[in-house]
Amino acid sequence: MAAPGGFSGTDFKQEEGVFLGFSKAQLLAFLAMVAFIAISPFFLYPVFLMKLLCFALFACAFNLLIGYVGLLSFGHAAYFGMGGYLAGHAAKVWGLSPELSILIGGAVGAMLGLVIGWIAIRRQGIYFAMITLAFAQMVYFFCVQAPFTGGEDGIQSIPRGKFLGIVDLSPDLSMYWMTAGIFLIGFLLIHRIVHSPFGMVLKSIRENEPRATSLGYRTDDYKLMAFILSAGLAGVAGGLKSIVFGIATLTDVFWTMSGEVVLMSLVGGLGTIFGPVVGAAVIITMQNYLAEFGAWVTVIQGVIFVLCVLAFRRGVVGEIGNWLRVRL
């Protein structure tokens, strides 16, 4: 079976200095990321950082499926968007606390993942991708018509509320710390999944599914569980975004959102634990600072996508990892 991936897809068991599944390089990268998260709100706009963290979690969730199982989903916007809608509805209409609302968003994403994944995993390759896209479009048109989504207006004025009924999240800095905490929990959960025996089986399925089947693994069950976990975490990311910005709209469930998360993962590096975070940072920063160019931002994203496919297939983190392996 395939070995578990390290900093750039290498076997972490063969690297020295492993700590909680982190190699030395990974541990340094993780500590640097935590340090940046801790100090960045004091010199960068917290709302921008919260958007970055929401999409970083979304990209990490997506990468769990494509990077470690080899399943390309074109429908992850469905889980992200529905998670946002249900979290927003729970917070605004039901009056639930933000943490419960976000958990509801994650639960909705997981349930959608169960239904869609159960059908989609019966096919592979382009057929799997098209099934996920078709279901995502069905979810989009459902959101257009469903009364609780607000149609084209979306759900607006979603309250941030109080974390655990104590901490007022109205100040951006308070909301930022909760967002950072949820992101880190999600990131570490994905890291643990990837470096667990379950994750090792997922990677064996990615590398050689017939062999994994011959060894006695029920590969469809493993793929379905990975699909549910990925969809659930995407729902958490969508729910978190709706609480942060106080709005849930059709944009979050549209097919272009699925394209964006594919691009983030590709730019950062598929099958790497830090790749989606880096990719999300690159794309969100670009969208933020090039917003004045309007629709040209989408064209620039397309150019980046083509360049990554043609010249940098490992992504930023993958190329760095390969460079370090060659020289060290």
Assign 18 a pLDDT band (cuts: 50, 70, 90).
low
Assign 304 a pLDDT band (cuts: 50, 70, 90).
confident
Assign 180 a pLDDT band (cuts: 50, 70, 90).
very high
**Percentage of residues in the chain with pLDDT exceeding 90?**
55
Q: What angle do CA 192, 199, 121 make, to 5 degrees?
A: 125
**Cα(195)–Cα(6) distance, rounded to whole angstroms?**
9
Assign 12 a pLDDT band (cuts: 50, 70, 90).
very low
Chain centroid, CA 328 distance in Å: 31
What does the pLDDT read at residue 6? 39
Spatial CA neighbour of 168 closest among 98, 118, 220:
98
Question: What are residue 168's DSSP bridge partners?
Answer: 162
Three-state DSSP at 11 gives strand
DSSP state of 132: H
What does the pLDDT read at residue 290? 77
Structure tokens at 264: 């983030």
* 29 pLDDT above the threshold of 50: yes
What does the pLDDT read at residue 1? 40
Question: What are residue 163's DSSP bridge partners?
Answer: 167
**Cα(236)–Cα(239) distance, rounded to whole angstroms?**
5
Give the residue carrying structure tokens 């960045």. Answer: 40
What average pLDDT is seen over the chain? Answer: 87
Give the residue carrying structure tokens 């007022």. Answer: 168
Among 94-103, 201-210, 288-297, the range scoring the smallest mean pLDDT is 288-297
Assign 19 a pLDDT band (cuts: 50, 70, 90).
low
Assign 72 a pLDDT band (cuts: 50, 70, 90).
very high
What does the pLDDT read at residue 166? 87
At 292, which amino acid appears? E
pLDDT in tens, 90-142: 999 998 999 999 999 999 999 999 999 999 988 888 899 999 999 999 999 99
What does the pLDDT read at residue 215? 86
Supply the angle between the helices 172-194 and 197-214 in degrees, to the nearest 10.
Answer: 40
Spatial CA neighbour of 117 closest among 132, 95, 130:
132
pLDDT in tens, 43-62: 989 999 999 999 999 999 99
What are the structural domain ranges in the chain? 12-327
At 139, which amino acid appears? V
Q: Both ends of the chain: CA-CA distance in Å?
A: 27
**Percentage of residues in the chain with pLDDT exceeding 70?**
92
Structure tokens at 72: 């390309």
Contact 60, 277 (CB under 8 A): yes
**Cα(20)–Cα(118) distance, rounded to whole angstroms?**
32
What does the pLDDT read at residue 5? 40
Supply the angle between the helices 46-66 and 255-268 in degrees, to the nearest 10.
Answer: 80
Q: What is the CA radius of gyration of the chain?
A: 19
* 22 pLDDT above the threshold of 80: no
Structure tokens at 305: 């996508």
What does the pLDDT read at residue 20? 60
Assign 302 a pLDDT band (cuts: 50, 70, 90).
confident
Choices 1.10.246, 1.10.3470, 1.10.8, 1.10.600: CATH for 12-327: 1.10.3470
**What is the rounded average pLDDT of the residues 19-24?**
68
State whether the Cα torsion 276-282-286-289 is positive or negative.
positive
How many other CB atoms are found less than 10 A from the CB of residue 248?
32
What does the pLDDT read at residue 101? 95
**Cα(320)–Cα(254) distance, rounded to whole angstroms?**
33
pLDDT in tens, 264-282: 998 888 888 898 999 999 9
